[in-house]
């Protein structure tokens, strides 16, 4: 493929803006973190509903109420996962989310199941899968950010909830980069028909390099627990790859190249966060039960 300077400029500018927005949201404070992932949550949902509408034409028939209510139920789960740091006056976001989930589920069931003449279980199943695929992950991401246990790192003490999400996102980015580099250099054996460009050499080699790089930098440069570095980076490498394949499968079923175009030259929300979507629940389990 011939080099296109305009395409290169567009992709580079978009990548820089994306990196700045992500780092600002991750690093500034817990509110910027919540706003960042709320935007990502709704962006992923909009693209998911479009993809499912292409895969199953009947899904296009769902009402605006169904479309929006299911997204709000998912967002309320994100509110419910907020810790004590998330308060507006005397009101905690966790409490608002708890009541929001209850009320919205009751209303949704009444309008979409009880009062509807023609109940289509398959359409509701598509939306429930979206809750598990998207809202569960971003809710647990907020849950990770809400952990207030303190850990000592080099030259400063930080909350575990600040360190883990950054470690996870960095691991995903490093894993993608390492897999691409190793695959480009020595990749020969196709990894999966779902994603023809992936190779076994790139996937395995890149994943191992990801764990090594994250663990060495995290432990020796930042003095973060070696167990935490290895656990998060290994989960990011394995489940991140699975997340990429899952989203590729959805796009194959819909016969589209990208899930959306919010990032010119880079695709949509699901394209950017597919790996993080599947890795986050497993990192949450690791942190709360093993780390």
Tens of pLDDT, residues 263-276: 766 688 999 999 99
What proportion of the chain, given as a percentage, has pLDDT over 70? 93
Q: Name which of 188, 166, 123, 154 is nearest 276 in CA terms.
A: 166
Residue showing tokens 């990749």? 187
Other beta carbons within 10 angstroms of residue 59's beta carbon come to 20
Assess contact for 161 and 148: CB atoms under 8 A.
Answer: yes
CA distance 172 to 239: 10
Other beta carbons within 10 angstroms of residue 289's beta carbon come to 7
Q: What predicted TM-score, i.e. pTM, was given to this entire model?
A: 0.92
**How does the average pLDDT of the chain come out, rounded?**
90
Query: How far apart, in Å, are the Cα atoms of 72 and each of 65, 82, 105, 182, 264?
Result: 10, 15, 10, 41, 27
pLDDT given for residue 3 in this prediction: 42
Tens of pLDDT, residues 6-50: 666 776 788 788 889 999 999 999 999 999 999 999 999 999 999
Is the pLDDT score of 2 beyond 60?
no
Domain coordinates of the chain in residue numbers? 5-289
CA distance 58 to 67: 13
Tens of pLDDT, residues 38-88: 999 999 999 999 999 999 999 999 999 999 999 999 999 999 999 988 998
Assess contact for 77 and 90: CB atoms under 8 A.
Answer: no
Q: What's phi and psi for 87, nearest 5 deg?
A: -135, 145
Q: What's phi and psi for 267, nearest 5 deg?
A: 95, -155
Query: How far apart, in Å, are the Cα atoms of 100 and each of 41, 52, 221, 223?
Result: 17, 26, 43, 41
Q: Helix/strand/coil (H, E, C) string of the chain? A: CCCCHHHHHHHHHHHHHHHHHHHHHHHCCHHHHHHHHHHHHHHHHHHHHHHHHHHCHHHHHCCHHHHHHHHHHHHHHHHHCCCCCCEECCEEHHHHHHHHHHHHHHHHHHHHHHCCCCCCHHHHHHHHHHHHHHHHHHHHHHHHHCCCCEEEECCEEEEHHHHHHHHHHHHHHHHHHHHHHHHHHHCCCECCCCCCCCEHHHHHHHHHHHHHHHHHHHHHHCCCCHHHHHHHHHHHHHHHHHHHHHHHHHHHHHCCCCCCCCECCCECHHHHHHHHHHHHHHHHHHHHHCC
Is pLDDT larger for residue 2 or for residue 57? 57
CA distance 84 to 75: 18
Tens of pLDDT, residues 174-205: 999 899 899 888 888 888 888 878 889 989 99
């Amino acid at each position: 493929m011939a080099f296109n300077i305009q395409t290169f400029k567009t992709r580079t500018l978009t990548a820089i803006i994306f990196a700045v927005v992500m780092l600002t949201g991750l690093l500034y404070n817990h509110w910027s973190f919540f706003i960042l992932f709320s935007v990502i949550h709704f962006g992923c949902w909009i693209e998911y509903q479009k993809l499912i509408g292409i895969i199953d034409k009947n899904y296009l028939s769902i009402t605006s109420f169904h479309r929006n209510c299911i997204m709000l139920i998912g967002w309320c789960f994100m509110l419910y996962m907020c810790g004590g740091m998330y308060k507006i006056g005397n009101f905690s976001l966790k409490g608002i989310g708890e009541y929001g989930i209850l009320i919205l589920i009751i209303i949704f069931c009444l309008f979409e199941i009880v009062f509807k003449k023609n109940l289509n279980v398959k359409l509701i199943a598509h939306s429930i899968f979206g809750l598990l695929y998207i809202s569960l992950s971003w809710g647990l991401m907020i849950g990770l950010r809400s952990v207030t246990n303190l850990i000592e790192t080099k030259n400063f003490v930080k909350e575990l909830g600040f360190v883990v999400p950054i470690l996870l996102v960095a691991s995903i980015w490093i894993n993608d980069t390492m897999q691409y580099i190793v695959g480009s250099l020595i990749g020969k054996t196709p990894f999966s028909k779902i994603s023809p460009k992936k190779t076994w050499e790139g996937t395995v080699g890149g994943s191992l390099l990801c764990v090594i790089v994250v663990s060495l930098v995290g432990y020796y440069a930042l003095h973060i627990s070696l167990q935490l570095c290895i656990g998060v980076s290994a989960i990011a490498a394995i489940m991140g790859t699975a997340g990429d394949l899952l989203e590729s499968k959805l796009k194959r079923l819909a016969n589209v190249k990208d899930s959306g175009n919010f990032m010119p030259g880079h695709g949509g929300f699901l394209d950017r966060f597919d790996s993080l979507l599947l890795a986050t629940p497993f990192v949450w389990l690791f942190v709360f039960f093993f780390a």
